[in-house]
Amino acid sequence: MTTFYEPTASEFGHLRRCVDLAREALDDGDEPFGSILVDAEGTVRFEDRNRVKHGDQTRHPEFEIARWSATNFTAEERASSTVFTSGEHCPMCAAAHAWMGLGRIVYAGSSAQLVQWGSERGAAPAPVAALPITTVAPALEVAGPVAAFAEELRELHFDRGRG
């Protein structure tokens, strides 16, 4: 059974924005993932969504956040920031996040859920193992998935399957 995380009201609002970005990505022909970077004061400093449709399969929003933080945040700002994301970081993005010393991660849907939904729709397995963030980067503080988004995310990922 999935153990769900109960977000605070402000966390819920940030996750809501991530899922909206995921829908925007899907509507634009990309994959349904969106993420935002929030500083220690609670201000959204950067947001992005998946942009893989032109062929660069590394254009994940969490990876863009890690790279953006390299030139726009100090080490202290990175450590005290929180990354909110519609889907749990893949191993590439978890590694980038950890290498940059970014702070806590809150995700709406887990990689395990994504694998489950993919198998339900008969999708081909991803080329990268769906490892949990904390398997890739054990010191990171993570929270998720959030029950309130499960059905919406499941539908978004089914729409992705229908192309």
The nearest distance, CB 63 to Zn ion, in angstroms, is 6
User: Do residues 58 and 122 touch, judged by C-beta distance below 8 A?
Assistant: no
Tell me which residue of 136, 148, 12, 116 sits closest to 62, measured CA to CA.
136
Q: Is 137 in the site for Zn ion (CB under 5 A)?
A: no
- Element (H or E) spanning 46, and its range? strand 44-49
Binding mask 72-111 for Zn ion (x = CB under 5 A): ------------------x-xx------------------
Comparing CB distances to Zn ion, the nearer of 9 and 66 is: 66
- Which one-letter amino acid corresponds to residue 79? A
Paired tokens of 43: 């201000």
The nearest distance, CB 1 to Zn ion, in angstroms, is 26
Q: Is 130 in the site for Zn ion (CB under 5 A)?
A: no
User: Do residues 103 and 137 touch, judged by C-beta distance below 8 A?
Assistant: no
Q: Is 136 in the site for Zn ion (CB under 5 A)?
A: no
Q: Is 49 in the site for Zn ion (CB under 5 A)?
A: no
Task: Report the interface residues with Zn ion, using CB under 5 A.
Answer: 60, 90, 92-93
